[in-house]
């Protein structure tokens, strides 16, 4: 029996329609505040946050600290139908998205070792430090962790992988929504990120590939708990 579509997924679909189909919120524009938008969509603020998190992962929305939530200046490329992806998300379990990360991200880490500039490696290091800082302060460490992985993806200088990242990254939000052991996930992310970073800074392709693969497998174990 198909799983009933969650209200947050329906809300993400509706918000995407308002952006891409109806033009109510144009690329680069700021969304109304949380209270106004949740009232407009007739959902709770919790449901709205989940919907926004999904659209952020898909590259449709951007959260700018201290400024609000904005529509991306450039929506995902043609051929990536976000309505279709959102519908797929309601049918496919988190582990299936997670398996995509296991396929792509170890190879991406190896490519980053080959192709990253020194400046890009320094940026990756700073992103890793940001994850540590957010964890220490009780902040939004999952968002910082996604930025860390995105920096690695960009440093691979593979345009196709970069465009796939919003889909791959959906696994993170899926896991966070269905798994309640966030502390275990945090501890795992911090330890694994340190190892991944170490190999990246050494430009050790084999080490970075294996470290990223181990990280993906660790998250898979947590997902099954």
**Mean pLDDT confidence for 177-189:** 77
Q: At what angle do helices 182-202 and 141-155 cross, to 10 degrees?
A: 30
| 177 has a pLDDT exceeding 70 | no
β-partners of residue 71 are 61
The rounded Cα 112 to chain-centroid distance in angstroms is 18
pTM of the predicted protein model: 0.60
- Residue for token pair 């430009």: 203
- Domains and their CATH numbers in the chain: 7-71 (1.10.10.10), 92-224 (1.20.120.530)
pLDDT at 66: 85
pLDDT tens digits, 37-79: 999 999 999 999 988 988 887 788 998 888 899 998 887 654 4
pLDDT at 181: 72
pLDDT at 175: 58
**Mean pLDDT confidence for 218-223:** 77
Cβ 143 vs Cβ 189: under 8 Å? no
Cβ 211 vs Cβ 112: under 8 Å? no
Binned at pLDDT 50, 70 and 90, residue 89 comes out as very low
**Mean pLDDT confidence for 133-142:** 91
More confident residue, 178 or 203: 203
pLDDT tens digits, 4-33: 457 888 888 888 888 877 889 988 999 999
In this structure, the number of other CB atoms found within 10 A of the CB of residue 14 comes to 17
Query: Taking Cα atoms as reference points, which of 198, 121, 194 lies closest to residue 152?
Result: 121
The rounded Cα 199 to chain-centroid distance in angstroms is 22
| 147 has a pLDDT exceeding 80 | yes
DSSP 59-89: TSEEEETTTEEEE-SSPPPTT--HHHHHHHH
More confident residue, 139 or 180: 139
Average per-residue pLDDT for the chain: 83
Instruction: Find the largest Cα–Cα distance for the chain.
Output: 51
What 3-state class would DSSP assign to 225? Answer: coil
Q: How far apart are CA 188 and CA 37, in angstroms?
A: 35
CA dihedral of 128, 130, 135, 141, whole degrees rounded to 10:
-90
| 121 has a pLDDT exceeding 70 | yes
pLDDT at 179: 56
Binned at pLDDT 50, 70 and 90, residue 185 comes out as confident
Cβ 211 vs Cβ 109: under 8 Å? yes
DSSP 1-65: -PPPPPHHHHHHHHHHIIIIIS-SS-TTPBPPPHHHHHHHHTS-HHHHHHHHHHHHHTTSEEEET
Q: How far apart are CA 155 and CA 110, in angstroms?
A: 10
């Amino acid at each position: 029996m198909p799983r009933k579509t969650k209200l947050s997924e329906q809300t993400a679909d509706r918000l995407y329609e308002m952006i891409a189909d109806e033009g109510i919120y144009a690329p680069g524009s700021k969304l109304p505040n949380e209270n106004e938008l949740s009232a407009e969509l007739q959902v709770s603020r919790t449901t709205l946050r989940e919907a926004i998190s999904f659209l952020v992962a898909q590259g449709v929305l951007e959260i700018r600290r201290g400024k609000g939530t904005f529509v991306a200046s450039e929506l995902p490329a043609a051929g990536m139908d976000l309505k279709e992806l959102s519908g797929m998300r309601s049918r496919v379990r988190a582990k299936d998205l997670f398996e995509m990360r296991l396929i792509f991200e170890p190879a991406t880490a190896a490519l980053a070792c080959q192709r990253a500039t020194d400046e890009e490696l320094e940026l990756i290091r700073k992103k890793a430090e940001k994850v540590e800082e957010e964890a220490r302060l009780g902040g939004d460490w999952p968002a910082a962790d996604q930025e860390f992985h995105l920096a690695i993806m960009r440093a691979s200088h593979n345009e196709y992988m970069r465009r796939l990242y919003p889909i791959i990254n959906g696994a993170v939000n899926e896991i966070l929504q269905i798994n309640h052991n966030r502390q275990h996930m945090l501890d795992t992310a911090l330890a694994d990120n340190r190892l991944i970073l170490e190999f990246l800074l050494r430009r050790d392709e084999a080490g970075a590939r294996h470290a990223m693969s181990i990280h993906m497998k660790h998250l898979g174990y947590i997902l099954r708990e």
